[in-house]
Structure 1
Amino acid sequence: MSRKLLNISIPVISVLLGLLAGAVIMLVSGYDPIQGYSAMLSGIFGDEYYLGETVRQITPYILAGLAVAFAFRTGLFNIGVEGQLIVGWIAAVWVGTEFDFPKVIHLPLAVLAGAAAGAFWAFIPGLLKAKYRVHEVIVTIMLNYTALHVTNYLIVNVLSDKQDKTENIAETASLRSVLFENLTDLSRMHWGIIIALICAIFMWFILEKTTTGFELKAVGFNQHASEYAGMSVKRNIILSMVISGAFAGLAGAMEGLGTFGYAAIKGGFTGVGFDGIAVALLGGNAAIGVVLAAALFGGLKNGALNMPLEAGVPNEIVDIVIALIIFFVASSYFIRWIISRLSKKGAK
Structure 2
Amino acid sequence: MRQARPLLESLLAIGVGLIAGGLLMLPFGYHPLRAYQALFQGAFGTPHDTLETLAFATPLMLTALTFAVGVRAGLFNIGAEGQMYIGAIGAVWAASFLSLPPGLHLLVATSVAILCGALWSLAPALLKIWRGVHEVISTIMFNWIAFHLAMYLAIRYLAEPGRAERTRPALPTARYPILAEGSTLTAVIFVAVLFCLAVYFILWGTRLGYELRLVGENPEAARYAGVRIGWALLWSFLIGGMAAGLAGASQIIGRPPAWSLYATLGNVATLGFDGIGVALVGRNHPLGGILAAILFGALQHGGRFMEYHAGVVSELVRAVNGLIVITLAVPELWTMLRRRLSR
The verdict on a shared fold, with TM-score over 0.5 as the criterion, is yes
Summarize the alignment of residues 141-156 of structure 1 with structure 2, pairs less than 5 Å apart. Answer: 141-156=140-155
Aligned match of 1:224 in 195, 220, 238? 220
Query: What is the CA-CA distance between 1:233 and the residue it aligns to?
Result: 1.4
- In the alignment, is residue 197 of structure 1 matched against residue 197 of structure 2? no
**Offset of residue 104 of structure 1:** 1.5
CA contact (8 A) 2:24 2:320 kept: no
Alpha-carbon distance in 2 for matches of 1:289, 1:56: 17
Amino acid in structure 2 at the alignment position of 1:60 = P
C-alpha contact (below 8 Å) 2:17/2:328 kept by paired residues: no
Which residue of the partner structure matches residue 341 of structure 2? none
TM-score (norm 1): 0.89
- Partner SS, residue 305 of structure 1: helix
2:261 counterpart (257, 260, 263): 263
Distance (whole Å) between structure 1 residues aligned to residue 332 and residue 87 of structure 2: 37
How far apart are 1:144 and its partner, in Å? 1.0
Contact 1:307 / 1:313 at 8 angstroms: preserved in 2? yes
- Matched to 1:9, the amino acid is L
Which consecutive segments of 4 or more residues in structure 1 shift more than 4 A? 333-336
Q: Does 1:166 align with 2:167?
A: yes
Label 1:300 to 1:137 Cα distance change in 2 as closer, same or farther (>3 A).
Answer: same
**What amino acid does structure 2 have at the position aligned with 1:190?**
T
Q: Give the SS at the match of 1:130.
A: helix
Residues 266-275 or 87-96, more deviating: 266-275
Q: CA deviation at 1:19?
A: 1.1
Which residue in 1 is equivalent to 2:338? none
- Give the AA of the match of 1:254: S
Separation in structure 1 between the aligned mates of residue 245 and residue 210 of structure 2, nearest angstrom: 24
Check whether the contact 1:91–1:110 (CA below 8 A) recurs between aligned residues.
Answer: yes
Q: How many residues align?
A: 330
Distance 1:147 1:41 in 2: 36
Identity %: 37
- What are the within-5 Å matches in structure 2 for residues 116-131 of structure 1? 116-131=115-130
Shifted more, 228-237 versus 263-272: the winner is 263-272
Structure 1 residues 326 and 189, CA, compared in 2 at 3 Å: closer, same or farther? closer
- Check the 8 A contact 1:282/1:326 in 2, yes or no: yes
Measured against aligned partners, the alpha-carbon deviations of 1:113-172 in whole angstroms (never above 9, x if no partner) come to 111111111111111101110001101011111111100000111112583311111001
2:234 to 215, 234, 238: 238
State the alpha-carbon separation in 2 of the partners of residues 207 and 307 from structure 1: 39
Q: State the match for 2:339 in structure 1.
A: none
Unaligned 5+ runs, structure 1: 337-348
- Over the aligned positions, Cα root-mean-square deviation in angstroms equals 2.0
**Aligned residue number for residue 341 of structure 1:** none
CA contact (8 A) 1:300 1:318 kept: no
State the match for 1:85 in structure 2. 84
Is contact 1:22-1:317 (8 Å) kept?
Answer: no
Deviation at 1:327, TM superposition (A): 3.1
Structure 2 partner of 1:46:
45
Which digits, 9 at most, give the CA deviation of each residue in 1:211-265, with x for residues without a partner? 0101111222233332332222112111110101110111111001111410122
Residues 55-111 of structure 1, C-alpha deviations (whole Å, 9 max, x = no match): 110101111111111111111111111111111111111100000101111001111
Residues 226 and 278 (structure 1), Cα distance of their counterparts in 2 relative to 1, 3 Å cut: same
CA distance in 2, matches of 1:142, 1:253: 22
Correspondences of 1:99-138 after superposition (within 5 Å)? 99-138=98-137
Does residue 210 in structure 1 map to residue 206 in structure 2? yes
C-alpha contact 1:10 1:335 (8 A) present in aligned 2: no
Describe the SS at the equivalent of 1:231.
Answer: coil
Asked if 2 retains the 8 angstrom alpha-carbon contact of 1:176 and 1:188, the reply is no
**Which amino acid in 2 is paired with 1:131?**
W
Give the drift of 1:266.
1.8
Pairwise CA distance, 1:288: 1.8
1:251 is aligned to 2:252: no
Seen in structure 2, the aligned counterparts of structure 1 residues 56 and 267 have a Cα distance that, compared at 3 Å, is closer
Kindly indicate whether the alpha-carbon contact (under 8 Å) linking 1:305 and 1:315 is maintained by their aligned counterparts in 2: yes
Please say if residues 155 and 163 of structure 1, whose CA atoms lie closer than 8 Å, have aligned partners that are also in contact. Answer: no
Residue 279 of structure 1 corresponds to: 278
